[in-house]
Amino acid sequence: MKNSGMMASIISLGCFWALGAVQAQEPVSSNIPEDVRIMLEQSQGGNQYEQMARMQVGVQYGEFLDTLEGNAQRRRDVEDAFVRVLSERADMSSRTVLGQASPAELEAISSYTYMRSNLAPLLDARELLALDELQGGTPEQQLRRTYSEQLQRYAASLTDASRNRVLEIVVNHMVFDETESSARTRLSAGELINQQLISLREAREEIQEVLDGTELQEANAFLDQLRSNLFLNQSMPDQ
């Protein structure tokens, strides 16, 4: 850290990773020390983040890039696409911290869906599948895995068929397609949670049509936990 510019880059990248992991957090600009605010503002701009982003790409995606077929230029093109996405994330993260962008905008640009859409034109089907596996799957697959773990915890007695049916219904209602994801960038964190609560209620209504008795009770316990988590997020202060 030889100068304030390097310090600004490090702080900005740190803010990016922290905010990317807590997508529903509101801007906290009022709590930022003045010297940190100045460094963040000075660091804004795509070129300021490129060096750090390129380092991160080397660490996180270096092995994937080494598997690409074709000439060196193709590898550089894919690498540059990764760098652009990570640079955009870092820039958006800093602007969110400063209150210049919304958490919904940060959430959209930090999603794997956004990265995937930028990389897809440069990759063939096999390479795109490898990237999905590297990232833990598509957003739908990630959501299914998370809900499956919670369903096992709160509704362990469901038959395999019923568990799969509940997962299918809940994921279908809770996952957002590309059009909906774009629309979400115009919503506040509270509005996003309200939208999820509505989706969860619709999923519950559909599940009530396919399950009954003890299985429905267990499925409802699982849904109640998801609902409680959403209300907990909704109750968090905006600032």
pLDDT tens, position by position, 175-197: 865 445 445 545 566 677 788 88
Residue 44, pLDDT > 60, answer no
Q: Are 23 and 64 in contact (CB under 8 A)?
A: no
C-alpha to C-alpha distance for 135 and 182, rounded to whole angstroms = 21
pLDDT value, residue 228? 84
Domain definitions of the chain by residue range: 4-134, 139-235
Supply the pTM of this predicted model.
0.46
- pLDDT value for 141: 73
pLDDT tens sequence across 94-126: 788 777 888 888 888 888 888 999 999 999 989
Nearest alpha-carbon partner for 107 in 19, 14, 193, 18? 19
**Residue pLDDT, tens place only, 134-148:** 876 666 777 787 788
State mean pLDDT over 37-57: 63
